């Protein structure tokens, strides 16, 4: 923790994270070096596996509890480091429990008991200092933890003023200056805290509360200072991690894999399902064996690109996310939730304009109002307790009111009850999986993301949305940038693992083909 002349500023983790995307592609490009991509390409065409490409053949073994706990710590460290790398706004906040939670009630009762005992002891005649001494010991250790290794003078001063042996002797003689010690502690906190805490320190200096309440406030501010210290460390660690991010995360995952050979099971299942689907599409069941032999096996990049699209549409209820994506699960879910909402909004607008026709064409302000209104009413549609059909009925009613208002203002007849009923029925029907408008929108959204994934320079294509999706173009561009940033970084870190899995699935267990496996792989690389 720096001293006051180089104090960090505190940033809340609750800041708006939409700014992440503004530099996400550039950040990913800087992390993805040419040598990493060349290494990935070589992995697909090489016969031998590197030390990072040994996921499939490790024999099962029984893990001890210590090994399981160590693997869990490794995974936690990997997740924490990944969050620091990809999220520039990531900071820690002091623990805050839900207001009505059991844990908060237990914690509050324990704390109250401690402070009640402290107050009771200090009010005794003569005073007891057992709790107070334990309190001062803890404060001393916290203050020492804030000091830089070279702050020897302040370290010596803290140890001299908060000399616990001396304080115990003073306590035996009822000569402890609690108020004086509290004043010194507050002064020292003022020298060590971040500038954002200056107001808190000022309140402590001006406090007229009793000594117990003052110490309680001191501990509250110390908790804030501890969070500031951690966040200052994170800010200083981030550039170092970003420079070494690919090698660091890959090595961490390799270490986890060596301890837990099953750590790629879900990843293998994910890629295998894509390979199986491609084989089924490439070799229809009615073909003879001789005809099937002439089929070219799916290229490794084709497999990987199709697998990434499946990640975007992942059904979290049916199967767990692949292990190589676990550190980005929250970000993936947020993209998926936003995408589902945008698709629903687009479907509603397509139905409105195709049903009503020319009377509302060419009115951007009306289109924007309908879009904004629908988005608000469908907000949170990913929640389990969200009733989509009921929400769509509300959307239909609001849209009919807005349309009638717009039509009558321009001397058009209002919607008839029959047309309103038809419009409502069509809007509510998008809850059906086979609805043609829904199918059309979902197919074109997938087409948009496929183009981004396959393009080596997708930044130029973020604004190029397929026909029928122009209503949600800004949202698609934003989600496209976020998703491609995640995909490119994931591909760079875990590419060697993917290469080994695909090579074994496609070239080791595939039906015979007319070309050698390595030639086929090389062809697929040059075509991408």
- pLDDT value at position 129? 83
Q: How far apart are CA 192 and CA 188, in angstroms?
A: 6
CA proximity to 264, closest of 70, 527, 13, 499: 499
Is there a contact between 463 and 284 (Cβ–Cβ < 8 Å)? no
pLDDT at position 81, please?
A: 66
Residues near 236 by Cβ (< 8 Å), separated by ≥ 6?
none
Tell me what pLDDT residue 87 has: 67
Q: In the prediction, which pLDDT does 293 show?
A: 53
Confirm if 31 and 246 have CB atoms less than 8 A apart. yes
> What b/e readout covers 321-350, taking b as 16+ CB neighbours within 10 angstroms?
bbbbbbbbeebbeebbebbbbbbbbbbbbb
Number of neighbouring beta carbons within 10 Å of residue 317: 6
pTM here is 0.62
Domain boundaries, the chain: 102-235, 323-508
Print the SS3 string covering 301-361: HHHHHHHHHHHHCCCCCCCCCCHHHHHHHHHHHHHHHHHHHHHHHHHHHHHHHHHHHHHHC
Helix-strand-coil percent breakdown of the chain, rounded to 5? 75, 0, 25
SS (H, E, C) 140-196: HHHHHHCCCCCCHHHHHHHHHHCCHHHHHHHHHCCCCCHHHHHHHHHHHHHHHCCHH
Angle between helix 473-502 and helix 329-356 axes, rounded to 10 deg: 130
Sequential pLDDT tens for the chain (528 residues): 444 444 444 444 443 444 444 444 444 444 444 444 454 455 444 443 344 444 444 444 454 545 545 555 555 666 666 676 666 676 677 666 566 667 667 777 777 887 888 888 888 878 888 888 888 999 999 999 888 888 889 999 999 999 999 999 988 888 888 889 999 999 999 999 888 889 999 999 888 778 888 888 998 899 888 888 888 877 777 777 667 778 888 888 888 888 888 889 999 999 999 988 888 876 554 455 555 455 566 788 889 999 999 999 999 989 999 999 988 898 999 999 999 999 999 999 999 998 887 778 888 889 999 999 999 999 999 898 899 999 999 999 999 999 999 989 888 888 899 999 999 999 999 999 999 999 999 999 999 999 999 988 888 888 899 999 999 999 999 999 999 989 988 998 899 999 999 988 887 644 333 333 333 333 333 334
Q: How many CB atoms lie within 10 A of CB 195?
A: 12
* Tokens matching residue 492: 């760079």
Q: What is the pLDDT of residue 96?
A: 61
Say how many C-beta atoms besides its own lie within 10 A of residue 418's C-beta.
8
């Amino acid at each position: 923790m720096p001293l006051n002349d180089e104090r960090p500023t505190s940033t809340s983790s609750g800041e708006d994270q939409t700014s992440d995307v503004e530099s996400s592609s550039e950040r990913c490009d800087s992390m993805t070096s040419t040598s990493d991509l060349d290494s990935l390409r070589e992995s697909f065409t090489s016969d031998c596996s590197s030390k990072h490409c040994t996921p499939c053949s490790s024999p099962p073994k029984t893990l001890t509890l210590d090994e399981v706990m160590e693997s869990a710590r490794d995974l936690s460290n990997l997740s924490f480091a990944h969050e620091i790398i990809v999220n520039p706004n990531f900071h820690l906040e002091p623990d805050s429990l839900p207001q009505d939670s059991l844990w908060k009630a237990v914690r509050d009762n324990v704390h109250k008991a401690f402070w009640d005992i402290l107050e009771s002891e200090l009010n005794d005649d003569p005073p007891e200092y057992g709790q107070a001494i334990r309190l001062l010991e803890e404060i001393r250790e916290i203050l020492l933890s804030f000091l830089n290794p070279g702050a020897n003078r302040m370290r010596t001063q803290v140890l001299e003023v908060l000399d616990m042996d001396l304080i115990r002797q003073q306590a035996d003689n009822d000569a402890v200056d609690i108020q004086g010690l509290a004043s010194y502690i507050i002064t020292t906190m003022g020298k060590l805290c971040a500038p954002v805490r200056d107001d808190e320190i000022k309140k402590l200096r001006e406090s007229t509360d009793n000594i117990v309440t003052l110490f309680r406030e001191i501990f509250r501010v110390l908790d804030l200072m501890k969070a500031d210290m951690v966040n200052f460390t994170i800010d200083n660690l981030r550039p170092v991690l970003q420079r070494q991010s690919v090698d660091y995360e890959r090595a961490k995952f390799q270490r986890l894999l060596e301890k837990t050979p099953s750590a790629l099971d879900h990843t293998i299942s994910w890629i295998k399902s894509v390979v199986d689907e491609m084989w089924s599409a490439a070799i229809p069941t009615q073909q003879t064996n001789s005809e099937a032999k002439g089929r070219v096996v799916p290229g490794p990049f084709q497999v990987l690109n199709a697998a990434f699209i499946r990640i975007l549409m992942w059904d979290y209820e049916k199967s767990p996310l692949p292990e190589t994506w676990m550190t980005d699960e929250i970000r993936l879910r947020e993209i998926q939730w936003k995408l589902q909402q945008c698709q629903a909004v687009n479907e509603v607008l397509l139905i409105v304009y195709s049903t009503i026709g020319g009377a509302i064409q060419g009115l951007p302000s009306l289109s924007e109002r309908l879009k904004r209104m629908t988005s608000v009413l469908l907000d949170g549609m990913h929640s389990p307790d969200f009733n989509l059909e009921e929400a769509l009925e509300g959307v239909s009613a609001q849209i009919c009111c807005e349309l009638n208002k717009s039509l009558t203002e321009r001397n058009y007849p209002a919607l008839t009850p029959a047309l309103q009923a038809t419009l409502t029925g069509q809007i509510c029907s998008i809850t059906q999986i086979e609805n043609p408008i829904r199918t059309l929108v979902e197919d074109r959204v997938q087409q948009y993301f496929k183009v981004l994934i396959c393009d080596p320079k997708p930044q130029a294509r973020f604004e190029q949305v397929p026909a029928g999706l122009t209503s949600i173009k800004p949202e698609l561009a934003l989600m496209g940038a976020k998703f491609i940033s995640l995909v490119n970084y994931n591909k760079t870190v875990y590419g060697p693992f993917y290469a080994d899995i695909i090579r074994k699935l496609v070239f080791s267990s595939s039906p015979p083909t007319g070309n050698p496996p390595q030639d086929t792989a090389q062809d697929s690389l040059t075509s991408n």
